Amino acid sequence: MQKPWGGESSAVDLFFKSRPFSLFLMHIQAETVFYDLNLNKIKLNRVHMVFINHVLQTHQIDLFMKKYLLFFIGIFICTISANSQSKNGFKIIPLGVKGGLDESNLSAYLVAASDSNQFICLDAGTIYKGLELAAENKLFTTSDPSLIQQKHINSYFISHAHLDHTAGLIMNSPNDKAKNLYGLASVLDVFKKNYFTWSAWANFGSEGEAPILKKYSYQPLLPKVEISVDQTGLFVTPFVLSHVNPYESTAFLVRNQNSYLLYLGDTGADDIEQSRQLAQLWQTIAPLIQKNQLKAIFIEVSFDNSIPTKSLFGHLTPKLFMEEMTKLNQLSNGSLKNTSLYVTHLKPCNGCEFKIQNEIKTANQIGLKIHYPSQASSIVLN
């Protein structure tokens, strides 16, 4: 009987019969890594491949059946691998990454557990444009940004109330669904007293000027106290940062099972801020870095090294960033290079971003893994 794809002598058949294919199965050393549609990392290692080969070699099965067996065994192993290896990882979709000017690309990061499509939104400078681009990149099945916002953003965690971290949330509030808005009490106060007032905007908050529309339920966070976020599988611990002392910003330590991700809102360096906030944060996370549990740090570098200290307004430069990372690396016994560092919040000006990246590259003598997130381009951490 004639078989699909051209019978015994087709190129496909010859490939499966060939010695190079058999050797490939027997001697593959490196893991084969690819991603499924949910951005889960899937690995086929040597054990998987040898098992497949063993089945094919030891059973005198018709070549036609062998091909089907190979296919189904492969799918089965992929499923097991995806479930066992990526459950405690994260997927991140930056909705905006810059620190100013371009209102279509300001700090906002969607974070979900690897096996979930319920995201928390860390800061909310840009929402609509980021979701529109994410939909164009096929990161969601729905193309309408408002529908994605309603359906996939579970809640917001705001590091501080500056507009480059809040404007997207405020502007898109009329189309959003009811959900929680988390922040330190000092951050939520600005929403209550300055934004969700009837003079600046409608009161979509759960407290403040009447009538109270109660779309966003204010959830005050206590420093260093972990909370669980319903329906996401995630846990979040806030840490106070200094952003022109005594103005408070926040770092969020996000946990999925025993894996962590740290996101810092705007922050100055301890020496300049006359503060110990970063030093205390580094003390807390250093053990996680040593145990390889901290998958990534998202941290700001707003200005290049030429900006004088008096004009930093609670931000980092490449020099200050690298000084802080050097302290953290020492506390972690030199293991910080195992954690991915995502540099965020670059303030655009003519040539600034290029200059900042170059200054970081030159200063990175300890071989840290530095990345620059881009808008609507997903990041997978396993």
The residues of the shown chain that bind Zn ion, judged by CB under 5 A, are 162, 164, 266
CB of 166 to Zn ion, least distance (A): 10
Q: Specify the residue, 187 or 286, whose C-beta has the smaller distance to Zn ion.
A: 187
Structure tokens given for 268:
């100055």
Q: Specify the residue, 164 or 359, whose C-beta has the smaller distance to Zn ion.
A: 164
3-state helix, strand, coil in the chain (%, to 5): 40, 25, 40
* Position 306, amino acid: S
* Sheet bearing 108-113, strands edge to edge: 216-221, 179-184, 153-157, 119-122, 108-113, 90-96, 379-381
How far, in Å, CA of 165 to CA of 22, rounded? 55
What own/partner pairs with CB < 8 Å and gap ≥ 24 does 211-218 have? Answer: 214/178, 215/173, 215/176, 215/177, 215/178, 215/179, 216/156, 216/173, 216/178, 216/179, 216/180, 216/181, 216/191, 217/178, 217/179, 217/180, 217/181, 218/181, 218/183, 218/188, 218/191, 218/192
Q: Specify the residue, 206 or 267, whose C-beta has the smaller distance to Zn ion.
A: 267
Structure tokens given for 340:
């991915």
CB of 345 to Zn ion, least distance (A): 6
Structure tokens given for 137:
């990149």
Q: Specify the residue, 79 or 374, whose C-beta has the smaller distance to Zn ion.
A: 374
Closest CA to 111 of 261, 240, 299, 288: 261
CB of 299 to Zn ion, least distance (A): 12
CB of 252 to Zn ion, least distance (A): 15
* Position 379, amino acid: I
CB of 160 to Zn ion, least distance (A): 6
CB of 368 to Zn ion, least distance (A): 23
Cα separations in angstroms, 155 against 265, 311, 350: 17, 34, 35
Q: Specify the residue, 91 or 162, whose C-beta has the smaller distance to Zn ion.
A: 162
Max intra-chain CA distance, the chain: 83
Q: Specify the residue, 43 or 347, whose C-beta has the smaller distance to Zn ion.
A: 347
CB of 314 to Zn ion, least distance (A): 7
